[in-house]
Structure 1
Amino acid sequence: MHDFTVNVQNRVLAVVRSVLQQNAITADVHPESRLVDIGLSSMGMVELMLKVEAEFDLILPQLAITPENFQSVKTMERMILNQLGPGPG
């Protein structure tokens, strides 16, 4: 399960970096980095949500699309793992 989680985190990081690059935002992103603090706008967040759905081939339920779930790579990773199946524990 650990390898799967690391893979999800790496994929989320790649998507976040790609959205930041498209929005001309230069920042060093870590799993705990707050995306709003880095400078991602609300439109950037929508773009990020759509790219996350495409990357993981899923449609996020409306209840999962919250500012809390898109705060950082870590919170998005947790949300995606919950959508993909039962989490560890």
Structure 2
Amino acid sequence: MSKETRERVRAIIAEQAVLEPSDVSEDQTLDDLGIDSMGLVEAIFAIEEEFDIQVPFNANEPEKSDFDISSVAAVMAAVERLVKEQKG
């Protein structure tokens, strides 16, 4: 995974958590960071716009999504995978 991709995702998540990117670690969950369901949706929209990808995520049924939001690292990996699939 490219460092640039990780840092761009970290910045988006940090913005939603109202934190500095340096305060966001890859092992944290979005819940740990205080990101609620609305913040999650906003982060998904920001990721889609930043990377010009479509994220397979349904906010009404997040548990049925193919987009792993279990941790910051999982979100980073999912974004990298989607970028490769959709741009590749």
Q: TM-score with structure 2 length normalisation?
A: 0.73
User: What amino acid is aligned across from residue 46 of structure 2 in structure 1?
Assistant: K
Higher relative contact order (CA 8 A, sep 6+): 1
Find out whether 1:36 has 2:36 as its counterpart.
Answer: no
Gaps of 5+ in 2: none
Gaps of 5+ in 1: none
User: In angstroms, what is the RMSD of aligned CA positions?
Assistant: 2.6
Q: Is the 8 A contact 2:55 2:67 kept in 1?
A: no
Q: Percent identity?
A: 25
Q: Is the 8 A contact 1:9 1:77 kept in 2?
A: yes
1:6 is matched with which residue: 3, 6, 10? 3
Q: Is the 8 A contact 2:67 2:78 kept in 1?
A: no
Q: TM-score with structure 1 length normalisation?
A: 0.72
